[in-house]
Amino acid sequence: MEHKNPEHLPAYHWEKKGSALFTVANVSKYRELRRSSFRLLNHIQKIGRYVFYTGEHKPTEHTKHNSTETFQRVLVQSIRKIDRFCTLNNASFIVLLDEQKAGNEWRERNVEAYTLAMFEDASEKCRTLIEPPLQGESYLFQTLQCADWLCGLIGRLTTYAVAPEEFDDWELFDTYFATRIANVALPCSGLDHKKAAKVTKVVAQLSANDC
């Protein structure tokens, strides 16, 4: 698989984004990518951990979409869902976000908004969140890079689920990864559905060759 590093950055300062990693060409051509993704998801399941997803369908009209508002809504929704899960399982959690390029003003404004939403809403207080979301540079933290890879993959799965006729060549993401993601998804994430028996059978056949 070709890894371009146009700025010739040192390895510890360079990363491959999930949107660039999980392309139709890469998944089709590189067995190593499929196998490494399978191993990652298998390990998450083996140690009893989860993949989490929440999101919303963007408006079809570009002018009606506000990325900042969408980000805020989805993040608060995610935190509250994880909080409910941790409450039921007597656990606590921290949220680590990929650093936003908008700078400190964006961070201060949004952290304040999240803090108000999490701690001042009496009906939706997040009691298991240790502190408001933190930010980290994804090129320095492998866990953030890994999360970005999974986001890239899940983004394709959900897009195909919503509009398969528009993204028909993305069916291979569904074939290779949908059931595997569903098997490790947090129950409240919206990805915990089980695929049809036909798809499960196909995945089992592919696994024999790719794992």
**DSSP code, position 63:** G
Confidence tier at 39 by pLDDT (50, 70, 90):
very high
130 burial (CB, 10 Å; 0-12 / 13-18 / 19+) is exposed
In a domain, residue 2? The reply is: no
pLDDT in tens, 127-176: 898 888 888 888 788 888 888 899 899 989 988 988 899 999 999 999 99
pLDDT in tens, 199-210: 334 334 444 444
pLDDT in tens, 64-116: 777 778 888 888 888 888 888 999 999 999 988 887 665 566 667 767 766 76
In a domain, residue 93? The reply is: yes
- Retrieve residue 3's tokens: 């890894």
In a domain, residue 146? The reply is: yes
Q: How many domains does the chain have?
A: 1
In a domain, residue 159? The reply is: yes
pLDDT of residue 197: 36
Domain of residue 132, residue span: 11-210
The type of residue at 198 is K
Confidence tier at 10 by pLDDT (50, 70, 90):
low
Residue 16 neighbours by CB under 8 Å, 6+ apart: 3, 145, 149
What does the alpha-carbon distance between residue 70 and residue 32 come to, in Å, rounded to a whole number? 35
In a domain, residue 43? The reply is: yes
Arithmetic mean of pLDDT, 186-194: 64
What does the alpha-carbon distance between residue 191 and residue 182 come to, in Å, rounded to a whole number? 5
In a domain, residue 3? The reply is: no
79 burial (CB, 10 Å; 0-12 / 13-18 / 19+) is buried
